[in-house]
């Protein structure tokens, strides 16, 4: 059977014109959730702008944003912005990141994975930042970007209990466009449009981002698509996420979709 390779940019270009509800909460939780309709292209630009702002934040602000994302072991119902607000209320300086205050944050936020588990993340992240990077976030980000194609496997943050590639990539995606945490919205789009075909030949091919081997496959796929399209992994993640949430959802709006003529599933080929 001959595999058909879709044209990546012929899929992306129409998607960018679609309107989506942009929520800054996905990028910078301190801003809350902004229900603003704008094109996915404008969502992409907002993401890049917010990245730059996040990177220039004070070290404690970066810690709160980064660590809040490390706590997101399962995305549905995590209420990330609420956790973030509690962190900002208690963690004004690095001296505030102690066990007692960490417990207060997690209890008030009703953290679903338990106070004990969450406290280990806070204290573990502080230890890594101080011991390995001397509180220098930029050193960490530069190392992560240098090793992004190999997925930064020796990242010391991965040694923290319950921290895997997905939540680490989620945290990094708030500061670097080279990282993206592919979720089910993104995977659905990749599968239906046929872009998944670009990953064929990889022995760990799979579409479950909760499985570590499948997740690495999906991550490598996004990097390939990035090289084909010219968009960074982070941009592709946001583009496909908005499209997957608003149009190519669990109940897809194929009759109104701007790419239904090039989508392999809609054409009955996929």
Measured distance CA(169)–CA(167) in Å, rounded: 5
DSSP codes of every residue in 98-131: SHHHHHHHHHHHT-TT-HHHHHHHHHHHHHHHHH
3-state secondary structure of 201: coil
- Please check whether residue 212 is in contact with residue 165, taking contact to mean a CB–CB distance below 8 angstroms: yes
**pLDDT tens for each residue of 219-269:** 999 999 999 999 999 999 999 999 998 899 989 999 889 998 888 887 664
- Please check whether residue 236 is in contact with residue 180, taking contact to mean a CB–CB distance below 8 angstroms: yes
Report pLDDT for 270: 43
**Residues paired with residue 20 on neighbouring β-strands, in sequence order:** 38
Q: What is the pTM of this model?
A: 0.87
Measured distance CA(205)–CA(202) in Å, rounded: 6
Rounded to the nearest 5 percent, the helix, strand and coil shares of the chain are: 60, 5, 35
3-state secondary structure of 36: strand
Measured distance CA(24)–CA(146) in Å, rounded: 27
**pLDDT tens for each residue of 76-130:** 445 677 888 899 999 999 999 999 999 999 999 888 888 999 999 999 999 999 9
Percent of the chain with pLDDT over 70: 85
**pLDDT tens for each residue of 175-214:** 999 999 888 899 999 999 999 988 877 666 667 677 788 8
Q: Is the pLDDT of residue 147 over 70?
A: yes
Q: Is the pLDDT of residue 173 over 90?
A: yes
């Amino acid at each position: 059977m001959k595999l058909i390779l879709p044209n990546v940019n012929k899929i992306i270009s129409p998607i960018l014109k679609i309107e989506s509800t942009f929520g800054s909460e996905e990028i910078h939780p301190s801003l809350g959730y902004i229900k603003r309709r704008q094109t996915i292209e404008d969502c992409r630009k907002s993401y890049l702008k917010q990245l730059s702002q996040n990177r220039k934040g004070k070290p404690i602000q970066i810690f709160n944003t980064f660590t809040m994302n490390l706590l997101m072991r399962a995305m549905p119902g995590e209420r990330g912005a609420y956790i973030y607000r509690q962190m900002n209320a208690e963690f004004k300086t690095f001296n505030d990141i102690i066990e007692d205050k960490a417990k207060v944050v997690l209890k008030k936020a009703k953290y679903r994975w338990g106070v004990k588990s969450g406290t280990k993340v806070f204290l573990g992240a502080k230890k890594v930042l101080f011991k390995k990077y001397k509180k220098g976030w930029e050193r960490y980000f530069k190392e992560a970007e240098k090793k992004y194609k190999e997925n930064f496997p020796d990242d010391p943050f991965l040694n923290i209990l319950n921290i895997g590639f997905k939540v680490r990539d989620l945290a990094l995606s708030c500061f670097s466009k080279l990282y993206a945490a592919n979720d089910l919205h993104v995977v659905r789009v990749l599968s239906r449009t046929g872009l998944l075909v670009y990953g064929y030949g990889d022995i760990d091919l799979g579409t479950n981002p909760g499985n570590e081997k499948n997740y690495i496959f999906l991550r490598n796929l996004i990097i390939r698509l990035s090289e084909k399209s010219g968009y960074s992994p982070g941009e592709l993640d946001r583009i496909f996420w908005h499209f997957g949430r608003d149009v190519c959802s669990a109940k897809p709006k194929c009759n109104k979709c701007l790419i239904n003529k090039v989508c392999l599933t809609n054409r009955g080929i996929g």
